[in-house]
A and B are shown apart, each in its own frame.
Chain A
């Protein structure tokens, strides 16, 4: 089966055609259209994306990666009028993400009226996080619709699924620490198929520092910036999400891969900062899971998992009284577009439309 995958981002639209045969993933052709921002996507541009594949293999499902699905979407869906409206109503909770996804849905449904459109949500994996983890200690009277979410649920889901199979825990759910090494890294404690903690918050701004994102800061600092006459809440938001993180600390942009591998002293200091906060997050996971069976790395920079492991694993083994080198860790190399495509195909199968296609 073939899926056209669309992954809207801040600076463009990543797309790829992902093909699966009976043996699994057989082809993925990722590319990016820089001038195709989610909210300004045009039907013509999306048709041009499809035209880029100059062969006759049909697209069975077009899958859009959506960051936010709220409580309503606990699994991938095939878009219809009802759930499209349902998604639009989530705009107040995550304006940017929902606006991007909504615009893409409208455009793709217009451009490809005969191809099923699927949505794979990053937050689905975290819908059932325990209330003790999701709840902020804010006055109940504020009525703010805020709770903690994770924003790399697709990676965590796929990676922990693979790790659980590798560990082969049969008598009890596996206790896993999932580390997504992406431009905005994220860590989650996962028990079997159930996440118990995650580093991100109500938005991806909270948690570990990223390429541009501040991560955890004292709320008083956010308040001070928002009340700064020269900034205000909107510009403070931009400062914390686009000018902070590795960029802010270094003074120049650096990817997570560069931070994990470069030898320059200034980069090494940023790496030490990141790894220290990863160790803290790993400790929270140990406490949540009451132990640990294994660690898995995923994400765009999963290949650099060994750099994190060399710092983290000895500390975790000492804490858990385990012999050096005995705690297993793995790298999940599956790219996001393949994970998204698989989610779309699973939604298609669940909808019962595969039989129609076959016929």
Chain B
């Protein structure tokens, strides 16, 4: 069965056509720099087997990226999907597990789209477009929040009036669960440790969104994102952690226009807000020449927030086996990995700087031999994880084609 998996990041659209259950990849690619303009133009890196091609084009939104990807696939009849799997960031309180999409589920998804205003709406629009183009194909939705269902009450509760928190569902949900779970499983395999014993800090550093996850005995115990993906690390266009009083003050100044403030905090803050010119950390570090003070400060703020949470989760996980770096920035930016782990020798974290700079093939252990905590760079593959979940769900519901 060919399942095409779509994964909407806040500034990317990853896709992978996977034959299940063999997990053989038939075609794949990633549309990068979707959304606000950055220093470089948008690009789709598409490949079928060994054949690779890059398509440079502007992609102002995820629908445009999807249309371009479908055109690429439609050139070969053998690449027509038999089922579609979608990654959905936030399932809210309605979705406690993954689902097969029908009219009821679609309407419920509409109800939760505002919980992740950057990710859920484009994913939902993508889902609607797929339903229109391939009405007979089964579609599944796999939620990012599922892996974090094991976060303890101490970590997931906000110190709000209990009745209010209950009635509005105000609690930490956590995100990027599909990726954190996948790389944790890969790390356990790499280190020869049963997943059920793995202690790790997973750093999913995407070009758009980013989060850290504390993992104890193979289960998520904390995640830097919260009720929504806005909380936590400084991201490309999201502010991350913010004094609640600032948010209240911004609404007051905007004369109650919460939509404008929400848009500012989710789409115009983070690195883009601090620099005014780029939403991408790759434009700010590791390049030649001197940076302006604003760019340098933005990079420092970005890196410092990761480092602080890394320290926090090293304590929570108590002598973890490893730190895992993954996704676009975590896999491809040696400077970021170095900057956030440098000087943590006392916490058992010692990187091999030469190995880190060499960009070896993944997965790789970048820690120095004396490091108690291994430092791994592992390519995330949320698409395979989504394909597995989708295939299992369709098998349960007997929706697999004969």
Contacts and interface: CB of A to CB of B under 8 A. Distances in A.
B162 A197 contact: no
A283 B161 contact: no
Contact of B315 (A220, A251, A288, A319): A319
Interface stretch (A58-66, A164-172, A274-282): A274-282
Q: Interface size bucket, A side?
A: 35 or more
A213 B243 CA distance: 12
A22 interface: no
B244 A217 contact: yes
A286 to B, nearest CB: 5
Given A135-B274, A232-B256, A287-B307, A244 B243 contact: no
B304 A283 contact: no
A67 B348 CA distance: 39
Contacts of B241: 206, 216, 219
Nearest to A131: B297
A291 B346 contact: yes
Contacts of B346: 286, 290-292, 320-321
B243 A251 contact: no
Contacts of B304: 132-133
A276 B318 CA distance: 13
Contacts of A140: 273-276, 294
Interface in A180-221: 197, 201-203, 205-206, 209, 213-221
Given A139-B276, A218-B226, A245-B159, A287 B271 contact: no
Interface stretch (B119-127, B178-186, B245-253): B245-253
A280 B231 contact: no
A286 B347 contact: yes
Contacts of B268: 139
B311 A219 contact: no
Given A220-B227, A284-B309, A321-B348, A136 B252 contact: no
A280 B247 contact: no
B308 A284 contact: yes
Max chain B CB contacts within 10 Å: which of A139, A142, A148, A292?
A139
A218 B158 contact: yes
A308 to B, nearest CB: 14
A291 B348 CA distance: 10
A314 B158 CA distance: 25
B248 A237 contact: yes
Interface stretch (A27-35, A81-89, A222-230, A328-336): A222-230
Contacts of B248: 222, 225-226, 233, 236-237, 240
A132 B297 contact: yes
Contact of B300 (A132, A142, A202, A222): A132
Interface in B264-313: 264-265, 268-276, 294, 297-298, 300-304, 307-313
A137 B297 contact: no
Contact of B318 (A223, A280, A315): A315
A220 B230 contact: yes
Contact of A214 (B160, B271, B348): B160
Interface string B141-169: 00000000000111101111110100010
B231 A287 contact: no
B42 to A, nearest CB: 23
B367 interface: no
A285 B307 CA distance: 10
A318 interface: yes
A316 interface: yes
Contact of B234 (A137, A205, A275): A137
B211 to A, nearest CB: 13
A222 B247 contact: yes
Max chain A CB contacts within 10 Å: which of B160, B230, B256, B275?
B160
Nearest to B313: A283
Contacts of B272: 139
A223 B247 contact: yes
A219 B266 CA distance: 10
Contacts of B247: 219, 222-223, 226
Max chain B CB contacts within 10 Å: which of A142, A234, A285?
A142
B68 interface: no
Contacts of A206: 241-245
Interface string A259-274: 0000000000100110
B258 A226 contact: yes
B344 interface: yes
B261 interface: yes
Interface string A304-320: 00000000000110111
A59 B202 CA distance: 59
Given A224-B168, A236-B248, A287 B311 contact: yes
A275 B157 CA distance: 13
Given A245-B159, A291-B346, A284 B227 contact: no
A141 B314 CA distance: 36
A139 B312 contact: no
A148 B301 CA distance: 12
Given A284-B308, A318-B318, A219 B297 contact: no
A251 B311 contact: no
B239 interface: yes
A54 B271 CA distance: 61
A243 interface: yes
Nearest to A248: B161
B262 A223 contact: yes
Max chain B CB contacts within 10 Å: which of A202, A246, A280?
A280
A141 B270 CA distance: 13
Contact of B243 (A146, A220, A291, A316): A146
Nearest to A217: B158
Contact of A137 (B222, B239, B294, B315): B239
B343 interface: yes
Contact of B170 (A221, A226, A247, A251): A221
A244 B162 CA distance: 9
A205 B159 contact: no
A249 interface: yes
Contacts of B251: 223, 226-227, 233
19 contacts: A138-B242, A139-B273, A139-B274, A142-B264, A206-B244, A215-B159, A216-B158, A216-B241, A222-B242, A222-B248, A227-B258, A233-B248, A245-B159, A249-B157, A251-B162, A283-B311, A284-B312, A316-B315, A321-B372
Given A233-B252, A240-B244, 9 more contacts: A136-B242, A140-B275, A226-B248, A233-B248, A237-B248, A284-B311, A286-B347, A287-B310, A315-B315
List the 10 closest pairs (A to B, CB-CB), nearest first.
A287-B311, A227-B258, A283-B315, A209-B159, A201-B243, A283-B312, A139-B273, A218-B226, A222-B244, A248-B161
Interface of B: 152-155, 157-162, 164, 168, 170, 172, 222, 226-228, 230-231, 234, 238-252, 256, 258, 261-262, 264-265, 268-276, 294, 297-298, 300-304, 307-316, 318-319, 343-348, 372
